[in-house]
Amino acid sequence: MKKEDAVQKFPALPSALFLILCLALSGPVAAQTSKAAETLADSTVYVTNTGKKYHREDCGSLSRSKIALSMADATGSGYEPCNVCKPPVLVVPAVSSQAAALYQVNIAGLGSVSQADLSRMTRAEVVDHVDGDTVRVRIRNPPPGLAAVETIRMIGVDTPETVHPRREVEFFGREASEFTRQKLLGNSVSLAFDWDRRDRYGRLLAYIYGSDGDCHNAVLIREGYAHAYTAYSFQFVDEFRGLEQEARRAGRGLWGRLWLEDNQY
């Protein structure tokens, strides 16, 4: 109801009562608007592994890859609407940085991966696996600085190469890649972070925790699927070095053959 219409219909109402009446009359309209916005935010759109736009399901741009996201996740991650299929547009309100702060193990001052607090981590779903130490995840309602779909390079580990464009598949690479695929693909995980947010290729650097509370980064080293990658400093560098030494002594995984080769007479 317009203000002038209300004045004509209720000319003698006190100002306070008039305000209450206007709010009451506008309530149903606001509720309908809010409901429509929620429905639009939950609607499904699609993105690609490399693109920066979101699309309708039948858009021709999705011929090579197709990842489903909610409209809220796509818009909140900085994806823009495709100018060909013209999907709907959603305005996302700002999120306070304090409420969306990322859990960093270095700031928490942790001495071991086992001390991490899963309840404070960023939740994600593993939607693709690249190799033993790299996966892609989907993050619902990503906090500032993160996208709805991220490529994760696990901190502090280096598995043998399987997809390097200029190297052959390395010994125990396929086993490490398959181990990560079986453990993580399709599962919900929790992400913790450290000193550096991204590597030089733009990949998100993280520790990945499974629902059982184990840090997959550490498990890879402990079970002999990876080296401790210590070229750059990180919070658990001493612990990861110790896990590698333990795996070497036990001859686990890739260290089984390598240990025998190094100790032949």
User: Which of the residues 161, 222, 239, 248 is marked catalytic?
Assistant: 161
125 part of the active site: no
Q: How many CA atoms lie within 13 A of 233 on its CB side?
A: 2
Sign of CA dihedral 146, 147, 149, 152: negative
Query: How many DSSP H helices and E strands does the chain contain?
Result: 8, 11
User: Which of the residues 140, 181, 203, 252 is marked catalytic?
Assistant: 203
Taking the C-alpha atoms of residue 214 and residue 116, their distance in angstroms, rounded to an integer, is 10
161 part of the active site: yes
Q: How many CA atoms lie within 13 A of 213 on its CB side?
A: 6
- Contact between 228 and 243 (Cβ < 8 Å): yes
Taking the C-alpha atoms of residue 39 and residue 18, their distance in angstroms, rounded to an integer, is 32
At a CB cut-off of 8 Å and minimum separation 6, what does 254 contact?
160, 171, 172, 175, 176, 224, 225
170 part of the active site: no
User: Which of the residues 136, 138, 153, 222 is marked catalytic?
Assistant: 153
Task: State the catalytic residues.
Answer: 153, 161, 203
